[in-house]
């Protein structure tokens, strides 16, 4: 499996009233970053699939002949 490295940076306040406050801040930021990463990766996957679909020929399910367009095939049987 190919991998890629993502570096994440976020700002935390210098002073915390408690360890719990620090934990909650990190948790909240982590959830935001996780959501953003998932959205970005999903969009990248969708874009890649669309790109592949526009390049790859489509085969007729009945005769398995490939066609260069993605429009509807005529129903000549």
Per-position pLDDT tens, the chain of length 77: 889 888 888 888 888 899 999 999 999 999 999 999 999 999 999 998 888 877 766 667 677 666 555 555 444 44
The pLDDT of residue 68 = 54
The reported pTM is 0.56
Q: Token pair 């399910």 is at which residue?
A: 61
Task: Please give the pLDDT value at position 65.
Answer: 66
C-alpha R_g of the chain = 24
pLDDT at res. 52: 81
Domain spans of the chain, in order of start: 19-67
Report pLDDT for 36: 92
Residue 56: HSE in the Cβ half-sphere, 13 Å Cα cutoff: 9
């Amino acid at each position: 499996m190919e991998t890629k490295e993502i570096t994440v940076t976020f700002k935390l306040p210098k002073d915390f009233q408690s360890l719990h406050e620090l934990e909650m801040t990190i948790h909240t930021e982590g959830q935001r970053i996780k959501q953003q990463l998932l959205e970005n990766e999903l969009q990248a996957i969708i874009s890649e699939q669309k790109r592949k679909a526009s390049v790859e020929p489509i085969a007729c399910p009945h005769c398995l002949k490939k066609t260069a367009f993605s429009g509807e095939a005529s129903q000549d049987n």
